[in-house]
Amino acid sequence: MWRYLPKALLSYRRLNLCQNVFDHGNGSYFMAFNGASRGLVDSYNRGSVFDTYSTSCTKMVENDTKVNSVSDMLVDSFGRLHTYLRISVSERCNLRCQYCMPADGVELTPGPELLSKDEIVRLASLFVNCGVNKIRLTGGEPTIRKDIEDICLQLSELKGLKTLAITTNGLTLARKLPKLKMCGLNAVNISLDTLVPAKFEFMTRRRGHEKVIESINTAVNLGYDPVKVNCVVMRGFNDDEICDFIELTREKPINIRFIEFMPFDGNVWNVKKLVSYYEIMDRVVNKFSDLKRLNDDPTDTAKNFRVEGHRGTVSFITSMTEHFCAGCNRLRLLADGNLKVCLFGSAEVSLRDPIRSGADDNELMEIIGRAVKRKKAAHAGMFDLANTANRPMIRIGG
């Protein structure tokens, strides 16, 4: 099913995080999806486009990031400094997306066992004091939490926090975003997997496509630049819309982010549904031959491009076919207070229980530091992940 050519180079060095390198013809290789990507591979043999489409290896200079004795809790055993915290503020959602939630639903954590606003702010403050400079609020659907504005306001006031972002399905965002922006929210990701309303209703098991489109336009009109639009690509569902999504970047500051379909509990993942990065790219360059690679930060999860003349950009998140673990700087605080150091790892540690038992900040830092130090170099391969127990995505946070 899969062909493996010799492996890409992968270098783990303290704060010099170089991701997978693809350099055709000189001994390093990539993993290609059998059949679907073969035409792309053959076309790449004609030139040096591997330099354009492979993962960026922009180097991080050690002197650019000062690690002190406090923030050392955020450095793992491979030298990766974790400055990005994703906080799930709710397990509930007003959609039922098939790749996120099992058809028969999920058993949600009882309300009293979820983190309160004060607990979220306390933990976020601790992380920021130790070096985190970006927080993303996720869910479930974060905008359905009644105190989401208060959470944003208090988080935005944390000294040292540069980016306060949200990932949302956009269903109620249009009417809430003006106030959220006033409360300090300065970055927005909106999930949208199809431009066809009937497909939207099939995938989400709900109506509301026009509301998501309205939220994207509202974010643009409010000055968010870019407005990031997350699109999970699935074979036979929306892979025929790839170029249509890219057209959204022509006139507006929209960053379309194509995400490879990933396995989580209950989403019936199948490799046949996976459309690989190379196959997506093959379709894109056939229509947009003037696609140009942008400079990526070494901690970027995405490979970033721009079509010549387009105002917006196009990105590819290749979690399955070309992981970016070497540059990972992300930690996840789940709605029930568990800390998860890897999206695909099953290991979790509770921060809620120590807080409610009276732990002080030093004790919490020790717990966090131990968890971070146990983080593995990379997650398992896609087939192993498909057979590994993990939470449904809705209970992890998008």
Mean pLDDT over 284-312 rounds to 94
Q: What number of residues does the chain have?
A: 398
pLDDT of residue 206: 86
pLDDT of residue 351: 98
Q: What is the mean pLDDT of the chain?
A: 80
Residue 395 banded pLDDT, cuts 50, 70, 90: low
Residue 343 banded pLDDT, cuts 50, 70, 90: confident
Residue 264 banded pLDDT, cuts 50, 70, 90: very low
pLDDT at 4 over 80: no
Calculate what percentage of the chain has a pLDDT beyond 90: 60
Strands 330-333 and 84-88: parallel
pLDDT tens digits, residue range 369-378? 999 999 988 7
pLDDT of residue 250: 98
How far is residue 170 from each of residues 16, 227, 259, 298, 313, measured CA to CA in Å? 36, 12, 18, 29, 20
Calculate what percentage of the chain has a pLDDT beyond 70: 72
Query: Is the distance from CB of 272 to CB of 383 less than 8 angstroms?
Result: no
Cite the DSSP H helix spans in the chain: 38-44, 50-53, 117-129, 148-156, 173-182, 197-204, 209-221, 242-247, 277-287, 352-356, 361-373, 382-386
pLDDT of residue 313: 98
pLDDT at 178 over 60: yes
- Positive or negative, the Cα torsion across 72, 344, 147, 142? positive
pLDDT of residue 388: 52
Residue 103 banded pLDDT, cuts 50, 70, 90: low
Query: Is the distance from CB of 254 to CB of 217 less than 8 angstroms?
Result: no
pLDDT at 230 over 70: yes
328 vs 150, residue with greater confidence: 150
Residue 69 banded pLDDT, cuts 50, 70, 90: very low
166 sits in the region (left: phi over 0; alpha: psi -120 to 50; else beta) called beta
pLDDT tens digits, residue range 303-331? 999 999 999 999 999 877 876 688 889 99
Q: What is the pTM of this model?
A: 0.80
Mean pLDDT over 219-247 rounds to 96
pLDDT at 242 over 90: yes
All domains in the chain, ordered by first residue: 2-53 (no CATH), 68-329+378-395 (3.20.20.70)
pLDDT of residue 342: 85
Mean pLDDT over 152-168 rounds to 97
